[in-house]
Structure 1
Amino acid sequence: MLGSKLAPKSVSDDNLKSSSRYYIALDGLRAVAVLMVFCQHYGAAKAWIFGWGWTGVDVFFVLSGFLITGILYDSQNKQHRYRDFYARRTLRIFPLYYAVWLAILLLTPVAHWQWNWRWALWPAYVGNYARFLFLHVAGDSYQFDRILFGQTVEHWFGTPMHLWIGHFWSLCVEEQFYLIWPFIVYTVRKREALIKICIGVIITMPLFRWLLTVVLPLPLLRMELFYRSLPTRLDALLIGGLIALLLRGPEQKWLSTWRHRVLAGAGAAFVMAYLISVKLLKLPFYGSATNWIGIVGFTLIDVFAAALILECIHPGSWLGQALSFKPLRLLGIVSYGFYVYHDLLHDFFALFAMRFFPRMGYAGIVVTALMGTALISTLSYNLLEKPMLKLKARFTSQVHLTPRN
């Protein structure tokens, strides 16, 4: 056990045959991922580099696949494995998510939301498909990514005000994954067979997305269909699942030895694909809605994210030590709430900054949003999420096992 901040914390459990480890560096990685998404929503129009913030969601997907697959595989012989898994996921995800929707519902008489039944897709965790299902509905195709306040509230603030809910799409994708993957892991059971499933999906997914580019209309692809739907993002989640399974077998030594090469190789391959597509072939670039990114770019980014995870959990890793920096860890702990609130209240942060810090301009909006979101998410974690998380102890047969290095 290392004496540095990277050292994993052991969690004792009489029901487990081996020790469980919690790598604090992964909290730092969560913080980096959520800050990338924050920069996408608040800075993409100001700086080119911030326009790549959407890749933070890929980091979350790969990390979720890694952790969830580890939990499922390690608990497959437990008597109440389904109950424990879904109870713990419910206690972690639902309280905050549905508290937000309950607040929206209760504020309806005051806010006079301009909404209809189609917004119910979001509480049902299928809102990531809303913009694609209702293209025939008159008006802005992206109208289901936001809820508009009524004219009374608009008069109060002197400007149109929205609740931005479009970023909830990634929560929908993960929840849909949680409904499917446990049944596959618990049914198949054998590690080698699960590895083959992961590899098969990872290899075929770029081909599947390419076929979709042939048969689907271009406007639909430009609306980030590949980016926002579970069927086209399975490789991200299963790349994380794959490394979790490989770490639980003899391949662990290979991964430890080759992690640097995987990291460098994936990064170099993506840069090469970008240069060839954008600079040499002069193909149009639309960020996460770009065809070539949808076909091969997602997979390369996800492999890179997986290599980052391997680097984070490796003892003595410089990256793990950097991401174990306490402020990053603290942000990582509340990253779920930070993600939910940061864009939800975008208009409020902007209005507050422009009224109270008008001379700061754009910088004032960014600082206000960053500090405001950090404060709200910290309060949310301590007052709402943390009490619910304590109940997870009642389902102790599901503890994430991280293999020894």
Structure 2
Amino acid sequence: MKLTYYKNLDGVRAIAALMVMVFHFFQGIEPSTKVLSYMAKAAIFGQTGVTLFFVLSGFLITRILMATKETKGYFKNFYARRTLRIFPLYYLFLLLYYFVAPLILQTKGTDFSQQIYYYTYLQNFAITFDWNAVGPTHFWSLAVEEHFYLFWPLVVFFVSKKNLWKIIAGIVIMAFLLRLFMLDLGYGVFYFTFTRFDALAIGALLALIEERYGFRETHAKKYTVLAVGLFLPTTIMWTIFSGSGNDTIQVIKFLFLATIYFSFIGLLLSLKSDHITNKVLKGKFFAYTGKISYGLYVYHPLAYSICDRFFRFEHLGIDFLTKVALAYSISAISFHFFESKFLKMKKYFNYQKQRDSTQLAYQK
């Protein structure tokens, strides 16, 4: 299976990061006018950028695993490359969060017993079950993805493609039933690994579709119909039924959102490369934003806090642009002077077969 490099998906990664950044910006805003109130409500949809990340990751990782499962050093190379991409920035930020940020922002330090869950990627378990943990709460999604990366290579390696469809279906059903069960017990389901795994599994389904059918322009209509058909009921659930006292709706909502983003990605890959949408996504802004999107996701809450502490502006637009500019600056510096040093080390863990095609795979 030769992997095609989809440049437009860098733009999708950029959109996901920007959605989350907009969501977190408006979380700190107290609407003073009707217009701001409407903007704040619309910004809530930004948190679904995490679901978009999940679906995209499930697709990209699965297609890489399927293409390289017959290569020598399959497990070693995969885990080494994941480690080089994820761990350096992850643990650097934890050090900044726990030991540098308190000095800059003049906040109280955190006991090691409260930090340990973040060092071990158990923060989303801690949040779900109310363990005594303190850390960057947006890191919950990184824990979900890391847990997926740990076990999914094993599944792809030992399970045939025919049965992989069944495994994906099983994960989707399991996550749905587990959300019902946990909500009945009084636990939240937003952050927990096994109640959010269905989004990654649905993304993996795209990789199987690509391998069997490919992405063709004739498929675009099907993805469009599916996305449009789910958009209205999902919007109604989100705006009317979701919220405090209505957490049960999350049982269905997460599944619908993941399927919508599944359709969105499938649609983009089915459209011609020179379609206006893909041209925009492959443009310099979205391409570069996608390139540093991991840093944007990691750093932006800290950048927002620094702006609030030292130079917050009363004008909403200027305040937003200032915070986003600082987040971009930090992320760009981090990528070029820190992360890239580790990314270059991936060359020592290239797959021996299909080497050229795997090098074209996304540097996630």
**Same fold (TM > 0.5):** yes
Partner of 2:32: none
Partner of 2:42: 49
Say if 2:51 is the partner of 1:90: no
Question: What is the distance in 2 between the residues matched to 1:381 and 1:109?
Answer: 23
Given candidates 246, 251, 258, the residue that maps to 1:302 is 258
Partner of 2:19: 36
User: Partner amino acid for 2:233?
Assistant: M
- Determine which structure has more spread, i.e. the larger CA radius of gyration: 1
Partner of 2:33: none
Partner of 1:161: none
The question of whether the paired residues in 2 share the 8 Å contact of 1:20 and 1:400 is answered with no
Question: What is the distance in 2 between the residues matched to 1:260 and 1:332?
Answer: 26
Given candidates 129, 133, 140, the residue that maps to 1:133 is 129
Given candidates 67, 92, 95, the residue that maps to 1:102 is 95
Say if 2:347 is the partner of 1:347: no
User: Partner amino acid for 1:170?
Assistant: S
Say if 2:6 is the partner of 1:23: yes
Deviations 1:37-95 (CA, angstroms, capped at 9, x unpaired) = 00110024542110111110011000100011111111111120000000100111111
Partner of 1:183: 154
Question: What is the distance in 2 between the residues matched to 1:116 and 1:72?
Answer: 36
Question: Helix, strand or coil for the counterpart of 1:248?
Answer: helix
TM-score under structure 2 normalisation? Answer: 0.85
Say if 2:180 is the partner of 1:210: yes
Partner of 1:141: none
Q: 1:61 to 1:108 in 2, by over 3 A?
A: closer
Say if 2:109 is the partner of 1:113: yes
Deviations 1:315-366 (CA, angstroms, capped at 9, x unpaired) = 3343222211211110110000010000133321222333xxx4x4333331
Question: What is the distance in 2 between the residues matched to 1:105 and 1:210?
Answer: 35
The question of whether the paired residues in 1 share the 8 Å contact of 2:20 and 2:47 is answered with yes
Question: Helix, strand or coil for the counterpart of 1:285?
Answer: coil
Say if 2:348 is the partner of 1:386: no
Partner of 2:201: 238
Say if 2:153 is the partner of 1:196: no
Say if 2:217 is the partner of 1:247: no
Partner of 1:321: 279
Question: What is the distance in 2 between the residues matched to 1:379 and 1:51?
Answer: 29
Partner of 1:12: none
- 5+ long unaligned stretches in structure 2: 30-35
Say if 2:132 is the partner of 1:170: no
Partner of 1:63: 56
Question: What is the distance in 2 between the residues matched to 1:212 and 1:257?
Answer: 41
Considering only aligned residues, what root-mean-square deviation do their CA atoms show, in Å?
2.6
Q: 1:270 to 1:79 in 2, by over 3 A?
A: same
Question: Helix, strand or coil for the counterpart of 1:22?
Answer: coil
The CA deviation at 1:199 is: 2.2
User: Partner amino acid for 1:28?
Assistant: G
Q: 1:203 to 1:132 in 2, by over 3 A?
A: closer
Question: What is the distance in 2 between the residues matched to 1:31 and 1:276?
Answer: 26
Q: 1:260 to 1:228 in 2, by over 3 A?
A: farther
Question: What is the distance in 2 between the residues matched to 1:313 and 1:86?
Answer: 27
User: Partner amino acid for 2:304?
Assistant: H
Moved more, 101-110 or 313-322: 101-110
TM-score under structure 1 normalisation? Answer: 0.77
The CA deviation at 1:299 is: 1.2
- 5+ long unaligned stretches in structure 1: 1-17, 138-143, 147-164
Question: Helix, strand or coil for the counterpart of 1:54?
Answer: helix
The CA deviation at 1:125 is: 1.0
Partner of 1:154: none
Moved more, 234-243 or 199-208: 199-208
Higher helix share: 2
Number of residues paired by the alignment? 341
The CA deviation at 1:277 is: 8.0
Partner of 1:140: none
Q: 1:31 to 1:329 in 2, by over 3 A?
A: same
The CA deviation at 1:210 is: 2.4
Question: What is the distance in 2 between the residues matched to 1:21 and 1:210?
Answer: 39
The question of whether the paired residues in 1 share the 8 Å contact of 2:139 and 2:298 is answered with yes
Superposed, which structure 2 residues align to 1:330-345 within 5 Å? 330-345=288-303
Question: What is the distance in 2 between the residues matched to 1:232 and 1:197?
Answer: 15
The question of whether the paired residues in 2 share the 8 Å contact of 1:266 and 1:304 is answered with yes
Deviations 1:82-138 (CA, angstroms, capped at 9, x unpaired) = 000001001111111111223446549956614341221112111112223336x6x
The question of whether the paired residues in 2 share the 8 Å contact of 1:235 and 1:299 is answered with yes
Question: What is the distance in 2 between the residues matched to 1:339 and 1:65?
Answer: 18
The question of whether the paired residues in 2 share the 8 Å contact of 1:311 and 1:320 is answered with no
User: Partner amino acid for 1:271?
Assistant: L
Question: Helix, strand or coil for the counterpart of 2:12?
Answer: helix
User: Partner amino acid for 2:87?
Assistant: F
Question: What is the distance in 2 between the residues matched to 1:75 and 1:303?
Answer: 26
Q: 1:183 to 1:38 in 2, by over 3 A?
A: same
Question: What is the distance in 2 between the residues matched to 1:284 and 1:394?
Answer: 48
Moved more, 63-72 or 104-113: 104-113
